[in-house]
Amino acid sequence: MTLETYARERQRFRAQVMAHKKDRTVSLGEHVTLLFEDELTIRYQVQEMLRVERIFEEQGIRDELDAYNPLIPDGRNLKATLMIEFPDEEERRRKLEELIGIEDKVWVRVDAHERAWAIADEDLDRDTDSKTSSVHFLRFEVTQSMAEALKRGASLAIGVDHPRYAASADASPAVRDSLSRDLA
């Protein structure tokens, strides 16, 4: 949308996206959240970036699309933003030092299939020798049999197995159904 159109539609569009995100968000313990991205969540992110940065020229819009479009699932995978959240700044600093490599320890499992481990941060490395980032971008490659099982209503478990942080959750039927629509 143009900046003018988005200014008029933003409140309605934002409400639509926030409702949509409820069925695409999984908490892993108290401090890790996965937001599974799709075309709508990324469109919202791009619109917000264009608005905040006041981008209206074609090249600037193209640059934002080029940056964010790789986060949209392509029919053979699930894509997610991993957020590590500690409200206290000092605790967050300490925990990000302890959690180096956490992005490589996240998985999804459909029913009795093998775990699909995250492929993380393909755009750039977000870890340093001394700490990890609080945000990572993940891709989970899903086999055809996993996709078919999800579409038939198989269970979906999601977890993280880092030596300093382990948690898992069974996806609700609403989350499972929403994610299954990302798969061809």
pLDDT, position 115:
97
Q: What are phi and psi of 135, to 5 degrees?
A: -135, 130
By C-alpha distance, which of 14, 26, 58, 47 is closest to 140?
A: 26
Residue 172 DSSP symbol: P
Domain locations along the chain: 3-180
- Provide mean pLDDT across the span 6-26: 95
Give me the sign of the Cα torsion angle 165, 171, 174, 180: positive
Which residue, among 10, 69, 83, 9, has the nearest Cα to 38 in the 3D structure? 69
The reported pLDDT for the residue numbered 123 is 67
Q: Which of 34-38, 39-43, 125-129 has the lowest mean pLDDT?
A: 125-129
Give the rounded percent of residues in the chain with a pLDDT score beyond 70.
Answer: 97
The whole-angstrom separation of Cα 172 and Cα 101 is 27
Confidence band of 67 (pLDDT split at 50, 70, 90): confident
For range 38-51, the mean pLDDT:
93
Confidence class for position 143, pLDDT limits 50, 70, 90: very high
**What pLDDT, on the 0 to 100 scale, is given for residue 130?**
78
Q: What is the pTM of this model?
A: 0.89
Q: What is the DSSP secondary structure assignment for residue 99, as one 8-state letter?
A: T
On average, the pLDDT of the chain sits at: 93
